[in-house]
Amino acid sequence: MSAQIVEHIVLFKVKPETDPSKIDSMVAGLAGLSTLDPVLHLSVGPLHRNRSPAFSFTHMLHSRYKSKDDLDAYSGHPAHVSVVTERVRPICEDVMAVDWVSDGLAGPVAPRVGSAMRVTFLKLKEGLGEKERGEVLSVIGGVKDGFPATEQISYGENFSPARAKGFSIGSIAVLPGVSELEALDADSDLAESMKNKVRDLLESVIVLDYVIPQQQSASL
């Protein structure tokens, strides 16, 4: 399919001393929210690799919606509020969220289990205008052409700044699996060339790798 999709990514930093059973409970509770009517797709689990150690997140949730209103309905749903209050906040010392509208998303709304995702958040330098933001978005949009193994690319400007720590652009590159993710990193010349095009426009970057797991069920 090719459509407009609202992307919602939440990063969690679980307290180091947390009992593993409570982490499992958090993940299962969040995974159970995939049954809510507004949700087109929801996946949650531990990060495969955190490439930005300054931001020591441990887990990630990715979900998709038809509209901003549907995302709002999910966020305000009593089941969501309950999971966040009872299972997330007690064990997390940091949470970050980025939302954007992906126009013309090609491919399945729900990436298959085992797919690998390269998630990137960009914080632009202050004072940049539309021209510079457009340049950054254009480079991100070229990822699929530069890396043919990329099955899907989604990117856009964050519309929920309150929990985004100043990061204003988000992107997801979906690949078949971990081996393709590693091959992407091996093509260092092309990756460096793309980075050089926007390096002077960026203040900070977060890069994370995530593999879509089999989800646990949960009673809400």
Residue 217 lies in a domain: no
pLDDT band at 217 (very low <50, low <70, confident <90, very high): very low
Instruction: Name the residue range of residue 106's domain.
Output: 2-211
Q: Is residue 220 part of a domain?
A: no
Answer yes or no: is 87 within a domain.
yes
Q: How confident is the model over 114-124, as a mean pLDDT?
A: 95
Task: Kindly report, residue by residue over 186-196, the tens digit of the pLDDT.
Answer: 765 656 677 77
Residue 99 lies in a domain: yes
- The pLDDT confidence band at residue 139, using thresholds 50, 70 and 90, is confident
In a domain, 216, yes or no: no
Alpha-carbon gap, residue 94 to 191, rounded angstroms: 30
Q: 3-state DSSP call for residue 171?
A: strand
Quick check: is 103 in a domain?
yes
The 8 Å CB, 24+ separation contacts for 141-147 are: 142/194, 143/171, 143/173, 143/194, 144/173, 146/190, 146/194, 147/173, 147/184, 147/187, 147/190
Confidence of residue 19 (pLDDT cuts 50, 70, 90): very high
Q: What is the pLDDT averaged over residues 140-166? A: 90
Counted domains in the chain: 1
pLDDT band at residue 143 under the 50/70/90 scheme: confident
Is 78 domain-assigned?
yes
pLDDT of residue 187: 66
Residue 89 lies in a domain: yes
Place of tokens 């531990």: 46
For residue 77, count CB atoms less than 10 angstroms from its CB and return exposed for 0-12, middle for 13-18, buried for 19 or more: middle
pLDDT tens string 202-211: 999 999 999 9
pLDDT in tens, 91-107: 999 999 999 999 888 88
pLDDT tens by residue, 23-53: 999 999 999 999 999 999 999 999 999 989 8
Q: What is the CATH number of the domain that holds 206?
A: 3.30.70.100
